[in-house]
Amino acid sequence: MRDWMKVIPESEVQNYKKAGFLADMQPGKRTALIVVDVTMGFCGAEGLTLDQAIAQYSTACGPSAWIAMPRIARLIDIFRKADLPIVYSLADPYDTGWTGKATKNTQVKRAMAPGYNDFPAAIAPREQDWVLAKTKASAFFHTPLSIYLTRENVDTLVFCGVSTSGCVRATVVDGFSHGYRSFVVDECCFDRSEFAHAANLFDMNAKYAAVLSLDEMETMMSGRKLAAAE
């Protein structure tokens, strides 16, 4: 049993199954990877405790970010080798000042601290990747993301990033609502709260996506010939 599933009472799992939730999902013809907000502002410097990371950036998740980092890098590499679209999201430093923050967190300042939107070197985007700025939790909310995915003939999305309970979940729900087959890689998501991480993986898996391990995702990708960029 995966660690995050251990938090969920077995009786509740069975109740969801009886109600028709937790159904399987199959990928479509063309897949894109959405890397949600994996910037230094949501990680904090490597080697810091959670308290130290929050002191650096109030939104940082600390050690859980760096546990997930090599796994995220491996997932990105799978998509690079398949020549499939990769989209990175980050907070829009300008428009957020006018539209308001993505959450009601009173500690987040209007002006972003230096380095907040930098990507860790291990997962940094390349020239062919799209870096999408957003003002709210979902990468779909008032952004041209769906236009890009339509242009790329994408019908399936794989999600990773931070936080599982916040921007990842919001983007997954919107992705599913836009009609995309949606997959979440559990080991490639992280949160400042292990409870919130587990509960939200369970709920997304029940209702909006298939939550897979990194090994399962790699098997899925290799077991299907996905269309490369034209």
pTM to 2 decimal places? 0.91
Question: What pLDDT is recorded for position 2?
Answer: 87
Q: How confident is the model at residue 227 (pLDDT cuts 50, 70, 90)?
A: very low
Tens of pLDDT along 148-174? 999 999 999 999 999 999 999 999 999
Residue 108 has pLDDT above 60, yes or no: no
Instruction: Give the chain's domains with CATH numbers.
Output: 29-222 (3.40.50.850)
Q: Is 184 helix (H, G, I), strand (E, B) or coil?
A: strand
Q: What is the pLDDT of residues 47-95, one digit of tens each?
A: 999 999 999 999 999 999 999 999 999 999 999 999 999 999 999 876 6
pLDDT digits (tens, 9 = 90+) for 175-206: 999 999 999 999 999 999 999 999 999 999 99
DSSP string, 85-139: -EEEEEE-TTTHHHH--SS--TT--SSPPTTTTPPPGGG---TTSEEEEESSSST
Mean pLDDT of the 97-105 span: 66
Q: Sorting pLDDT into bands at 50, 70 and 90, what band is 104?
A: low
User: In this structure, are residues 163 and 65 in contact, taking their beta carbons and an 8 Å threshold?
Assistant: no
Residue 207 clears pLDDT 90, i.e. is over it: yes
Task: Please report, for residues 63, 75, 185, 191, the alpha-carbon distance to residue 71 in angstroms, rounded to integers and kept in the order given.
Answer: 14, 6, 10, 15
Taking the CB of residue 98, how many other CB atoms lie within 10 A of it?
9
| pLDDT, the chain, mean | 92
User: SS3 of 58, please?
Assistant: coil
